[in-house]
Amino acid sequence: MLTVKSFTFNPFQENTYLVYNEQQQCCIIDPGCYFQNEREELKTAIEKTGLQPVMLLNTHCHLDHVFGNQFVHDNWQLDLQIHPLEQKLLELAPETGKMYQTPFEKYSGPVVFLEENNSIKLGHEEMDILFTPGHSPGSISFYHKAGNFIIGGDVLFNGSIGRTDLPGGDMDTLVASIRKQFYTLPDDTLVYSGHGPETTIGFEKKNNPFVREN
């Protein structure tokens, strides 16, 4: 079984996740640590719990989700794994950072491309890679069936959905992703979002004002 630990980082209040197995192997998803104290918090949490980072993953490559990519790469020698359609956003992220007065170092390590409908393995545990575009062109979500949770980036929030007014965003595509990839999961599936508190599929089906199931 996989365990999830979350952190809220940077001026955009982005959720960064550590997902780890019983052997203490972990993947770092969307490291948004921007300030030095945030980077130290992430590193200390990993070291104090004896975790061994083995994967660096981005659900998508908007700046608030990639601030810490280079830090993670430098500290644990991990290559970034993303969907190929996010490559352009990754390259543009530092320039976007200047626009938001949040300059940061461009990721300079190798990039490994993930394909939807495959899975990633953390020891003996698996997370399915779901293609969930709409907020960004190549957004992906990581679904752990055995643990009954999904890490969805900025697709579905508690009572809201990801914005679609950024380059590459599209409302119809996002709604389709939610209905096809999220709302087909069991109602008690826990949703770990890119911002805000966790929620469940069943709660959002009944209450989400943007994508409600009648």
Specify the pLDDT at position 214: 64
Specify if 214 maps to a domain: no
Q: What's the total number of domains in the chain?
A: 1
Specify if 196 maps to a domain: yes
Specify if 98 maps to a domain: yes
Specify if 179 maps to a domain: yes
Specify the pLDDT at position 167: 87
Specify if 155 maps to a domain: yes
pLDDT < 50: residue spans in the chain: none
Residue 191 pairs with which residues in a beta bridge?
150, 199
DSSP string, 125-163: EEEEEEE--SSSTT-EEEEETTTTEEEEETSEETTEE--
Specify the pLDDT at position 52: 98
Average predicted confidence (pLDDT) for the chain = 97
What's the rounded Cα separation, in Å, for the pair 210 and 214? 12
Residue 37 belongs to what domain range? 3-207
Specify if 213 maps to a domain: no
Select from 8, 6, 12 the least CA-distant residue to 104.
12
Specify if 172 maps to a domain: yes
Helices (H) and strands (E) in the chain, counts: 6, 14
CATH number at residue 167: 3.60.15.10
